[in-house]
Chains A and B, each alone.
Chain A
Amino acid sequence: MESFAGAVVIFAVGGVVTLATTVMVIQGHLHWRGRDPWGEG
């Protein structure tokens, strides 16, 4: 796993997961902004 190619794969997977999580949280936050928090959304 110390090879450059292996390191790039791990880096890319980590980046995708971090980005996806960030997008999911921001999307949820923006979705509920200004709406009834108890509503159906």
Chain B
Amino acid sequence: MVISPTLAVQPFLAPGIAWALVVIFSVLWIALGVSWGRRGSGDADDYMLAGRNIGLALSTATLMASWVTGNTTLLAPEFGYRNGLWGMFSYALAGLGLVLFAPLALRIKTLMPKGRTSGDFIRLRYGRAAWWVFMVITATYTLGFLMTQAMGAGILLEALSGFDYRLGMVVVIGVSTIYTLYGGMRAVVGTDFIQSLLIMGLLVLVAVLALRQFPVPELHRALVEEHPERLNLLLPAGLLIAWNSALFSMGEVFHNNIWWSRVFSSRASVVFSSFVLGGLAWMTVPLVTGSIGLVALAQSVDLPQVNMLFPVVASQLLGAGGAALVFVVVFASLTSTLDSLLASTADLVAEDVVFKLLNPNMSDAQLRQATRLVVLGLGLLTLLLSWPRLDSLASVLFFTGALVASTIWPVAYGLYWPSANRGAAIAAMVSGSAVGLAAYVLIAPYCAALLSAAVSAVVMAVGTQLQPERFDWLTLKEG
């Protein structure tokens, strides 16, 4: 079967089917989230960290689901389409962030048995000044991430089903906020488990069906004849982006409370394995969706919007059923990422700002209530910020790469070496961010994370060698 070479941008799903899918999955997520949230002891730790008792299967699934964003399902095919093999490999390297965080997760779990947030670690390890720098970085990144997911939801649902941009956005944010608000981390982890199974299962189904209709030898022959440069591992465009995803992802995972909250939520015996397995499982997603990009390339599909490549190919190859599968995958990807962002960011704000900074005498019940209010506030703030539509979401994300990559070395160095210097940590985050932003503007967006991490690493290592500290690890126990 040959895909029609000219395709207009029009909804892939009939409005009736799209509405039915939205209602079914919205009701399912909310019902399950609220139901799971009623279990447990009901204290702040239970709401924020699901009782710190998550096992291997749930922990792996929630890591994988949270890391599969709308970008993974829609930007990875574009990477494969534009940059060939390097596009797929480069995107898949973002799984390295989760895999490499596994040893750090084990150390965090050991050193901070009562810890709740990444902010706790920075404050106790490097002091309040470093905490402020860190909070500016993480707040900028988190708001950017929330906005890109919310806007992505509106844009994607509009393209897939014809929904109005704002309607799609309100539905996705609304559903995620409601079940996170009522169920806390327990609801997030439970729904993530089902969402991850849906995402993996449906993606494999789409890929298998696509490759049955267009077998690999045929795909390879077509690419060799029509687009040999996309199979060339020395393609300049491919070399330029090769390490960007890996370093960007390390910055995201090492610093952000989404991943730290998973460490604190999981049993000590499973943290290492779950991050390794979650990262490896995640890597299959861009490889599968990226291969869809290669199928489109081999078929010489004319795409008016390259970021719509996955739904275009799925609906062309598999008909209305394919479009419905893509819709479910995208809806699950968006809600699973947004719920994690809302829950972990609410934990960070409630614990680090409301409790530790503003009101240290707060009771456990008050902390739980504050966390719920922050979830609601963040949901509303995201809605407000995403109301005006921006179509350059990728540039917003690359911008934050300059900031988060500067935290890689301060975080990892500070977890392993007592000599890690607090002044060096601050200088590393500030100088790395500044150089990364300059590179973003003056060189190219894909250099931002790379140069930020490089400068931050040198400053951290040299600063520590020049003036080593003797940090007492027991300080972290109180966190």
Contacts and interface: CB of A to CB of B under 8 A. Distances in A.
Contact of B104 (A1, A4, A13, A25): A25
A37 B107 contact: yes
Interface in A1-41: 1-4, 6-8, 10-11, 13-18, 20-22, 24-29, 31-32, 37-41
B239 A18 contact: no
Interface stretch (B30-38, B360-368, B411-419): B411-419
Contact of A11 (B96, B107, B239, B409): B239
Nearest to B93: A18
Given A11-B243, A13-B454, A14-B450, A24 B413 contact: yes
Contacts, number: 94
Contacts of A41: 417-418
A14 B244 contact: yes
B376 interface: no
A22 B447 CA distance: 19
B444 interface: yes
Nearest to A30: B103
A28 B65 CA distance: 28
Nearest to B413: A24
Contacts of B243: 11, 14-15, 17-18
- Best-surrounded residue of B239, B451, B454 (most CB of chain A within 10 A): B239
A8 B239 CA distance: 7
A21 B412 contact: yes
B65 to A, nearest CB: 24
Nearest to B238: A7
Contacts of A17: 243, 247, 450, 453-454, 457
Given A1-B444, A24-B412, A40 B250 contact: no
Contact of B111 (A18, A24, A37): A37
B416 A31 contact: yes
A7 B279 CA distance: 27
B44 interface: no
A10 B447 contact: yes
A22 B97 CA distance: 10
A28 B237 CA distance: 34
Interface in B78-134: 96, 100, 103-104, 106-107, 110-111
A4 B240 CA distance: 9
Contacts of A32: 107, 416
A22 B99 CA distance: 10
A37 B110 contact: yes
B409 A24 contact: yes
Interface string B219-247: 00000000000000010110110111011
A22 B104 CA distance: 11
Nearest to A41: B418
Contacts of A15: 242-243
A27 B450 CA distance: 22
B83 to A, nearest CB: 12
A40 to B, nearest CB: 7
User: Nearest 8 A-B pairs (CB), nearest first?
Assistant: A14-B243, A28-B416, A29-B103, A7-B236, A7-B239, A11-B239, A37-B110, A38-B473
19 contacts: A1-B444, A1-B447, A2-B237, A4-B234, A10-B447, A11-B240, A14-B246, A17-B454, A20-B457, A21-B408, A25-B416, A27-B416, A28-B415, A28-B417, A32-B416, A37-B107, A39-B473, A40-B470, A41-B417
Given A15-B243, A29-B107, 7 more contacts: A10-B450, A14-B242, A14-B244, A17-B243, A21-B453, A32-B107, A37-B110
